Chain A
């Protein structure tokens, strides 16, 4: 099994889990879930099971199988939802996720898994029994239970194989349906699969199921021998048989099948086989004119009677509402019969046969009890048609090629400058301008492919908030705003950690316990709101709570005590500056700070993570009103606007989003601190440390006198610094390339880019420059 496909599945599974969690959590409080959402839950579990089977993650597949069945019962109304059951589902989905990860990592403990699976089965059993009214005598129950348990145990062990076989069958029939395999070529394989399933089922001590499959097997045998043709119609029939057979196994394992209803079922099957044979005959007489593929496609999604909740086995919906249309195509010769009228849905009441052919398409027996196992194949297909999954590497490659184009373009621009003929220059220049705008558009299109909605970030949060609130014994209402705001997929991963950290802090230290809140005259339930919006090339993500707020005095006190700041520095700090101290590394390491001041653990890490994404973070807080963290991120990591600066003869690029302002200083603006040679720029009563970049990089500068060069004020994390450079040049859009891919981290340089002449340009990393500078001082 190729790792790639597995990874692919894992990715898909992640999204499905996100969906599962979000539906369940949304409805947790209400204790009920809408039918659409129940369908969606069932579908997701089914997809997970199927996907896992196809990548040979059989333990996970086996586990999911039970939950899928459970959901199916919910869907059919056999089990009524309540808050407790939803809770059970939330826990179980969590367990599913654990099992998946363990199996993926190949760290799944066999014994533990079996135990978990047993537990799940027991739980499901308990829930189911909760609804059973007429309970048999205790002894019977125990006997039955133990027998059932035994069967289930065996089934648990063999589930994987069965599921595998059914998946295989599904795969085969779908291939036929999709036209990838000729029906006639598939019949052998399908026969073999059915035969194997039948064999395997006998090991499970199943009584009825093998008899059922036996009928199907005989039918296939005749097809295999060429007695009857294996056509698309037949194939469709097989797809339904497969679905139904799976349902039957479940029913039998749950002991909801008895002699009588099984024989009803078997008769129904035989009858349908008979009908199938007629149809096949019919097809033959129509010169094998192929039937429309959708002949027996179910449209039962639209059918209101679907949730019919009877346990009784279903007759196959062999002839469904769509049949008339297809029949019309199949039997164009019957002109005298108005096809629509004859086969209209209302005509389910047996119509008077008009000719000998009609029996073939005789409407099905009235089958009111009909929990048709619907697979929503059509739904998945519809989804597949509008979107495809692409590996991020491929998009990166595409991005790289566009990056190359950008570079080539700037080379061309540079080249035209050297043209002497004005006329030619003008002509080429105009064309280049066109090319330039095309490339820009291309760049934007490719970028947009990398963008994903914030929903993908949010979807993982509700569960976390819920679990945490439960653990902390707090009541939280979690809201998210801006689900559709788009963010670079590359940033999503980098963003999860900081977000998790902030939310954890807000829940732990921000939002108070319900009783405290009531004392303060606040609503019992705390609020946590995360929102995202796009603003002038940035994404602003805000996390607000209505908790106790940050106790600034305590933070400041601690900061001074720990020597993170001096009294003198403190005297110059604004309220905002003081708040920003929560990100100070000196504060966060002192553990007891959290007990008094509330925040701080690992907040410096949060800031570093955000900085690594090219963004920055702000915090606002009011006592007893709450706290807000604002994360400001660039839209993308791949391209940034940079300013070329000159140090000596060397050109560097400074990311534009770090720059606050630039100026040519006057001597009175520059102060020295004490006797040290530490220089400070005094700008509008603000004191900003100066870093001479030529010193930092050991480059021979053009100017050593600050008044002759330029100071560029940049912000990094919580502080501002002024970088001294010789001059600054033009501003340009650059494609960011990692240095670490082939080399390693370089002090003061964050990344590289490729310049117009094909050489490498170095992008300054303001954060690391500031940190290194601080370390030196």
Chain B
């Protein structure tokens, strides 16, 4: 299976390529702000007539000093509820081909994100570790605030 590795702050995260519908350059979209919504809900964009909510993953993962640069992109995800939701990430690192067997269960401790969002850990070729996200869990909208 193919996976996409992206970066948030100093951390690498991975999601399956098949979940991705589209990648947009952040600076080229107009986001309409919402009000009274969760702080990580950045707003709404128009993707060829579809109204799509945008989640700022950095806010969701409690990363401070959120900045937007040239490499900032929006990854549009198709969730298992068939909703299209965009996530803002710092940049896309790479696309990798992986055997699902190299995925190891995530340890209970020592991981920066909420364990509910974790699918497992992946060891990359350069000995780096990357976190495999359960992106559907991350984007589940009904979860308790």
Contacts and interface: CB of A to CB of B under 8 A. Distances in A.
Contacts of A33: none
A748 B35 CA distance: 9
B36 A758 contact: no
Interface string A714-746: 000000000000000000000001110111101
B52 interface: yes
25 contacts: A697-B35, A698-B36, A737-B49, A737-B50, A737-B51, A741-B50, A741-B51, A742-B50, A742-B51, A742-B84, A746-B34, A746-B36, A747-B36, A748-B36, A754-B46, A754-B51, A758-B30, A759-B30, A759-B46, A760-B30, A760-B32, A760-B43, A760-B46, A760-B51, A761-B32
B123 interface: no
Contact of A758 (B34, B46, B141): B46
Given A742-B83, A744-B141, A749 B34 contact: yes
B35 A698 contact: yes
A697 B36 contact: yes
B81 to A, nearest CB: 9
A742 B46 CA distance: 12
A403 B51 CA distance: 13
B47 to A, nearest CB: 9
Nearest to B36: A747
B48 A760 contact: no
Interface of A: 400, 403-404, 407, 650, 696-699, 737-739, 741-744, 746-749, 752, 754, 757-762
A757 B46 CA distance: 10
A650 B51 CA distance: 18
Given A743-B141, A746-B34, A760 B44 contact: yes
Contacts of A742: 50-53, 83-85
Given A698-B35, A747-B36, A404 B48 contact: yes
Contacts of A762: 32, 34, 44
Contacts of A404: 48-49
Contacts of A743: 44, 51, 53, 83, 85, 141
Nearest to B53: A743
Given A742-B50, A748-B35, 13 more contacts: A697-B35, A697-B36, A698-B36, A737-B50, A742-B85, A743-B51, A743-B141, A752-B32, A757-B30, A759-B32, A759-B46, A760-B30, A760-B44
B45 interface: yes
Given A760-B45, A761-B32, A738 B37 contact: no
Contact of B51 (A407, A697, A744, A752): A752
Q: Which of B30, B51, B52, B85 has the most CB of A within 10 A?
A: B51
A442 to B, nearest CB: 16
Nearest to A647: B35
B142 interface: yes
A146 to B, nearest CB: 57
Contacts, number: 67
A404 B84 CA distance: 19
Best-buried of B45, B49, B52, B84 by chain A (most CB within 10 Å) = B49
Interface in B60-113: 83-85
Contacts of A738: 51
Contact of A754 (B35, B37, B49): B49
A773 to B, nearest CB: 13
Contacts of A400: 49
Q: Rank and list the top 6 A-B pairs by shortest CB-CB distance, nearest first.
A: A697-B35, A759-B30, A760-B32, A743-B53, A760-B44, A742-B83
Nearest to B142: A744
Nearest to A772: B36
Contacts of B36: 696-698, 746-748
B83 A741 contact: yes
Contacts of A749: 34
Contacts of B142: 744
Most buried by B among A742, A748, A754: A742
A697 B34 CA distance: 9
A650 B30 CA distance: 14
A650 B33 contact: yes
Interface centre among B36, B45, B83, B85 (most CB of A within 10 A): B36
Nearest to A743: B53
B39 to A, nearest CB: 12
Contacts of B51: 737-739, 741-743, 752, 754, 760
A759 B142 CA distance: 26
A747 B36 CA distance: 8
B49 A403 contact: yes
B70 to A, nearest CB: 21
Contacts of B44: 739, 743, 752, 760, 762
A696 B35 CA distance: 9
A216 B32 CA distance: 73
Contacts of A407: 49
A403 B142 CA distance: 30
B11 to A, nearest CB: 26
Contacts of A698: 35-36
A696 B50 CA distance: 27
A98 B37 CA distance: 45
A42 B49 CA distance: 47
Contacts of B33: 650
Nearest to B79: A742
B127 to A, nearest CB: 38
B35 A699 contact: yes
Contacts of B46: 754, 758-760
A754 B35 CA distance: 18
A761 to B, nearest CB: 7
A407 B45 CA distance: 14
Nearest to A651: B32
A691 to B, nearest CB: 14
A758 B52 CA distance: 13
A418 B65 CA distance: 38
A738 B32 CA distance: 15
A406 to B, nearest CB: 10
A404 B53 CA distance: 19
A375 to B, nearest CB: 43
Nearest to A400: B49
Nearest to A738: B51
A760 B30 CA distance: 8
A737 B83 CA distance: 14
Nearest to A739: B51
| Residue in B35, B37, B83, B84 whose Cβ sees the most chain A Cβ within 10 Å | B35
A754 to B, nearest CB: 5
A543 B53 CA distance: 41
A771 B84 CA distance: 29
A761 B34 CA distance: 10
B88 to A, nearest CB: 15
Contacts of A758: 30, 46
Contacts of A737: 49-51
A748 to B, nearest CB: 7
Interface string B2-42: 00000000000000000000000000001011111100000
B84 to A, nearest CB: 5
B74 to A, nearest CB: 13
Contacts of B45: 759-760
B94 to A, nearest CB: 28
Contacts of B50: 737, 741-742
Nearest to B52: A742
A322 B43 CA distance: 70
Nearest to B84: A742
Contacts of A650: 33
Contacts of A757: 30
Nearest to B76: A742
Nearest to B43: A760
A738 B50 CA distance: 9
A741 B47 CA distance: 13
Nearest to A652: B35
A285 to B, nearest CB: 65
Nearest to A693: B35
Contacts of B32: 752, 759-762
A761 B32 CA distance: 7
